[in-house]
Amino acid sequence: MQGRLTDRVAVVTGAGSGIGLATVRRFAAEGATVVCVDIDAEAGRRAADEVAGDFVACDVADDTSVRELFDGVVARHGRVDVAFNNAGISPPDDDSILETGLDAWERVLRVNTTSVYLCCRHVIPHMRRQGRGSIINTASFVALMGAATSQIAYTASKGGVLAMTRELGVQFAREGIRVNALCPGPVATPLLLELFAADPERAARRLVHVPMGRFGAPEEIAAAVAFLASDDSSFMTASQFVVDGGITGAYVTPL
């Protein structure tokens, strides 16, 4: 069977680690030419080398860099079919609103929300010319439900991604451009595992709310991204696609 992304050019931001890296591998396995974007040149280049793709060093919160990124992709490859706007941060100084200063708030909003605005702003004109394209913006389940273990800037940043995505999906629906938000539940990335290994109580406090009783794997999120990127999801746009082990549907979870 042919890959679902054969002959497609796909850009992945935050390609060097976690969900982005798993998606780079999945997109390549589905036949795509993958452009790996990361602020961390070493990790991004490693991801690109693994799939014989391109690497572009870029801070996705910088207007000029993002414009040059997408113009460059179209100049080199002739088109851009998929944009997975995934890079994001969740720094330790983003905490309760009582502790989180303006510096952390603005940094998180810039990297998590302004970056999505910039990527969409600079990729959509190319997709309009082509008359097709699939954009997937990474939000989070915390955009849909509240947590007493707050990271207030992160939560607000992902709420912004969700609302922006819905609006873009509606605005460009008749031009062949689909825009969907991905809402992963907690994913067992190396950073999260390290944090929870050092503090098992912290993990237990969260796991009790997950019906499946475990965190997700990056590959499980990548499979959902590949679906949203491909024509298998051709009647989906402006959606919030939840991949969360059942968290957002749960009241009392199994023992």
Is the Cβ of residue 130 or residue 248 nearer to ligand NAD in the bound state? Answer: 248
Of 5, 9, 24, 39, which lies in the binding site for ligand NAD, with binding defined by CB under 6 A?
39
The residue sitting closest to ligand NAD, measured at its beta carbon, is 18
Cα four-point dihedral sign 137, 111, 96, 211: positive
Given the residues 27, 70, 141, 154, the one annotated as active site:
154
Encoded amino acid at 237, one letter: T
Of 12, 18, 56, 227, which lies in the binding site for ligand NAD, with binding defined by CB under 6 A?
18
Query: What DSSP line would sit under the chain, residue for residue?
Result: ---TTTT-EEEEESTTSHHHHHHHHHHHHTT-EEEEEESSHHHHHHHHHHTT-EEEE--TT-HHHHHHHHHHHHHHHS---EEEE------TT---TTT--HHHHHHHHIIIIIHHHHHHHHHHHHHHHHT-EEEEEE--GGGTS--SS--HHHHHHHHHHHHHHHHHHHHTGGGTEEEEEEEE--B--HHHHHHHHH-HHHHHHHHTT-TTSSPBPHHHHHHHHHHHHSGGGTT--S-EEEESTTGGG-SSPP-
Is the Cβ of residue 176 or residue 211 nearer to ligand NAD in the bound state? Answer: 211
Is the Cβ of residue 144 or residue 236 nearer to ligand NAD in the bound state? Answer: 144
189 sits near ligand NAD (criterion: CB under 6 A): yes
Q: Which stretch binds ligand NAD (CB under 6 A): 53-61, 122-130, 196-204, 235-243?
A: 53-61
53 sits near ligand NAD (criterion: CB under 6 A): no
Report in angstroms how near the CB of residue 151 gets to ligand NAD at its nearest: 10
Is the Cβ of residue 40 or residue 93 nearer to ligand NAD in the bound state? Answer: 40
Catalytic, 154? Answer: yes
Is the Cβ of residue 61 or residue 120 nearer to ligand NAD in the bound state? Answer: 61
Report in angstroms how near the CB of residue 69 gets to ligand NAD at its nearest: 10
Footprint on residues 226-245 left by ligand NAD (CB under 6 A): none
Footprint on residues 115-134 left by ligand NAD (CB under 6 A): none
Q: Which stretch binds ligand NAD (CB under 6 A): 3-11, 25-33, 92-100, 189-197?
A: 189-197
Instruction: Find tokens 């959902």 and name the residue.
Output: 224
The Cα-based distances of 162 to 9, 132, 254 in angstroms read: 24, 21, 29
Catalytic residues: 154
Residues that bind ligand NAD in the complex, under the rule CB under 6 A: 13-14, 16-20, 38-40, 43, 58-61, 86-90, 111, 138, 140, 184, 186-187, 189, 191-192
